[in-house]
Amino acid sequence: MTRYILKRVFFAFVTVCIVFTVVFMLLRFMPTSGYFPREMINSLDEGTKNAYLRSIGLLDPPFVQLKNFVIKLFRGDLGRSITVYPKVPIVTILAEKIPVSAAFGFASLVFGMAAGLLLGMFMVRFKSRFGDNIGTAYVIAVRSIPSLIYFFLIQVWVSKALKLPLVYYNDRFLSWILPVICLSLGSIAWYAIWLRRFMVDEENKDYVKFARVKGLSQKYILRKHIFRNAIIPLAIYLPSDLLFIISGSLIIESLFVIPGTGGLLTTAIRRQDNTLVQVLVLMYSAMSVAGVLLGDLLAAFVDPRIKLTEKED
């Protein structure tokens, strides 16, 4: 087990390094205007621009720049924002933004899991009937329709129908409802369809047939036997839900004007704040790989059928 964990951690670390190196190098091919404050770019001559770029190390060879960035990274220095928050340390910016995104992410994770499991059990309870068809229609709609379309419809129509705030306000709890729901829609569909699949598979197992022969009710069998065994594979995929939240937050935070890291990334790209972009890409890639790694490790701990001896590893 220890050897397996160390190997997975090593490969995860290598993946993050490769992703960040590629993004770092690609940013070196971007126009250098992304490293100048907007009020300076038009008033400087070429000599002054080159002197400024040399002072911040951007005229060094790319791999030298990468080495210098990694050294500063281990010292806790992520650089400073250039155009979005001029001269403000990126560490300070992230300290303000991350708690907001984390709060929305945790709330949507809990809500999406609870609603998805309930919908999945509802679909199994009324399998091949109207309730199952309704759940299947919801899953198909969420997976087939571009998310930006129903996000916008929810923001405009649902907010008007329920008299909810159209955008996020820091001092109004009701403004949390629509963003959390929008972030959870993909997770609800994912948990529901997979729980239905696993529970339908479990219904044909011998232990379920034996429970029916004993005279146990179908509701009891679903709740106490089938659900408890079907939930194990879902626990393995739980960290993958982090990827849904990361990808969704990039749109949701911009749409609802939430001051989190998702909206910050889109703003940094739009305003060519390359220093801020490379830090955010590093953070998101590390979170994504960590989610996949945690899923692999949960597979070994949650499912008792998986045994990782040295030979099997």
Higher-confidence position of 26 and 312: 26
> Where do the domains of the chain lie?
2-74, 90-302
The mean pLDDT value for 3-29 works out to 83
Taking phi over 0 as left and psi of -120 to 50 as alpha, with beta for the rest, 194 belongs to: alpha
Degrees (nearest 5) of the Cα angle 59, 65, 71?
145
The mean pLDDT value for 164-191 works out to 87
| Structure confidence by residue, pLDDT tens digits, 179-199 | 999 888 888 988 898 888 888
The mean pLDDT value for 44-71 works out to 80
The mean pLDDT value for 96-121 works out to 88
CB contact at 8 A, 195 and 122: no
**Range of lowest pLDDT (46-60, 112-126, 138-152, 162-176):** 46-60
| DSSP-assigned letters across all residues of the chain | -HHHHHHHHHHHHHHHHHHHHHHHHHHHTS-GGGGS-HHHHTT--HHHHHHHHHHTTTTS-HHHHHHHHHHHHHTT---B-SSSSTT-BHHHHHHHHHHHHHHHHHHHHHHHHHHHHHHHHHHHHTTTSHHHHHHHHHHHHHHHS-HHHHHHHIIIIIHHHHT--SS--TT-GGGGHHHHHHHHHHHHHHHHHHHHHHHHHHHTSHHHHHHHHTT--HHHHIIIIIHHHHHHHHHHHGGGHHHHHHHHHHHHHHHTT--SHHHHHHHHHHTT-HHHHHHHHHHHHHHHHHHHHHHHHHHHHH-TT----TTT-
For 121, 208, 225, 232, 268, the CA distances from 218, given in Å and listed in that order, are: 12, 10, 10, 20, 54
Among residues of the chain, what percentage have pLDDT more than 90? 4
| pTM for the model | 0.75
Buried b (16+ CB within 10 A) or exposed e, 147-176: beeebeebbeeebeeeebbeebeeeeeebb
Q: 80 forms bridges with which residues in the sheet? A: 89
Above 80 in pLDDT, residue 24? yes
Rounded to the nearest integer, the mean pLDDT of the chain is 81
For 7, 190, 276, 301, 303, the CA distances from 297, given in Å and listed in that order, are: 11, 21, 32, 7, 10
Give the per-residue pLDDT at 1: 64
For 47, 199, 207, 299, the CA distances from 196, given in Å and listed in that order, are: 66, 5, 18, 20
Higher-confidence position of 246 and 222: 222
Above 80 in pLDDT, residue 233? no
Residue written as token pair 């232990």: 207
The mean pLDDT value for 265-271 works out to 82
Give the per-residue pLDDT at 119: 92
Q: How confident is the model at residue 115 (pLDDT cuts 50, 70, 90)?
A: very high
Q: How confident is the model at residue 246 (pLDDT cuts 50, 70, 90)?
A: low
Give the per-residue pLDDT at 312: 46
The mean pLDDT value for 273-283 works out to 84
Long-range CB contacts (within 8 A, 24+) of 166-172: 167/256, 167/257, 168/256, 168/257, 168/258, 168/259, 170/259
Give the pair of three-digit tokens for residue 288. 């994504």
**Range of lowest pLDDT (71-85, 210-224, 225-239):** 225-239
Q: How confident is the model at residue 305 (pLDDT cuts 50, 70, 90)?
A: low
Q: Which amino acid is at 19?
A: V
| Domain 90-302 grouped into CATH 1.20.1250.20 | no
The mean pLDDT value for 68-95 works out to 86
Give the pair of three-digit tokens for residue 6. 């160390």
Give the per-residue pLDDT at 138: 92
